[in-house]
Amino acid sequence: MNTQNILYVKSSIFGDNGVSSGIAKKLVAALAQKKDSAIVERNVSAGDIPHFSMQTIEAIGAGNATLADTLIAEVQQADVIVIAAPMYNFAIPSQLKAWFDHIARAGVTFKYTEAGAVGLLTNKKVYIATARGGLHQDKGTNLDTVYLKTMLGFLGITDVEFIYAEGVNLGEEVRVKSIAAAEQQVQAVA
C-alpha cells in the first residue's frame, strides 16, 4: 500500500493547547486512520525559525545548508499539508509568516516566466485549521484567509480547504459550539 506523507505545521503560541492545534491534530489523526501515513510535525512557534534575513540569503547564495532547505524539503515531500493557523492581530502568527518566507524560493518552489510567476509545489492538498476570537468570515477582516490562499496559490497549491473555529472568545456557549462544529467538519473532510 502506498503511504501518504502528511506535514503538520502548527503555529499557535499555546502549542498543543491552542484551539487551532487541537482541531488540526484531530484532522491529522483522522487522515492517518483513513490511509497509511508518514507524519512530519513542524512547530513553527518553537522559536527555531528566525525572521528571513540577509544572512539567510547569503547562506543560500553561498550554497550552504540552511534551515530553509530543510523546511522546503519537508513541504516538497508532503502529499497533504495540515496547517494550524490561528488569527493573531488580524493575520497569521508572525512565526508562520517566517515559515512561508523560508519556503518561498525562486527556481525551487516557484519560478518566474514571461507569463508571470508559476508555483512549483503541485499535487498537494492543504487543510487549514484556523481559530479566531471573533467573527471574520465574509468580512473585510478575513485577511488571514486571503493571505493564505494567495500565498499557497503563488506556490502552486490551489487545493486548499479551511476549517474555522470562530468566535472562540465570544463566551463559553459560542466557543463550545464553534469548536464542536469545526470538529464535525474534520470528520466530514477526512
Site of interaction with ligand FMN (CB under 6 A): 12-14, 18-21, 86-90, 131-134, 168-169
Nearest CB to ligand FMN, comparing residues 102 and 136: 136
* Other CB atoms within 10 Å distance of the CB of residue 165: 23
Gap between the Cα atoms of 111 and 155, Å rounded: 9
Helix (H) or strand (E) holding 183: helix 172-189
Nearest CB to ligand FMN, comparing residues 68 and 82: 82
Gap between the Cα atoms of 67 and 44, Å rounded: 12
Nearest CB to ligand FMN, comparing residues 88 and 147: 88
Q: Which residue has the cell 500565498?
A: 151
Gap between the Cα atoms of 187 and 49, Å rounded: 32
User: With contact defined as beta carbons under 8 Å apart, do 110 and 154 qualify?
Assistant: yes
Nearest CB to ligand FMN, comparing residues 28 and 155: 28
Radius of gyration of the chain (CA): 17
What is the phi/psi pair of residue 5, to 5°? -95, 120
List, as residue ranges, the binding site: 12, 87-90
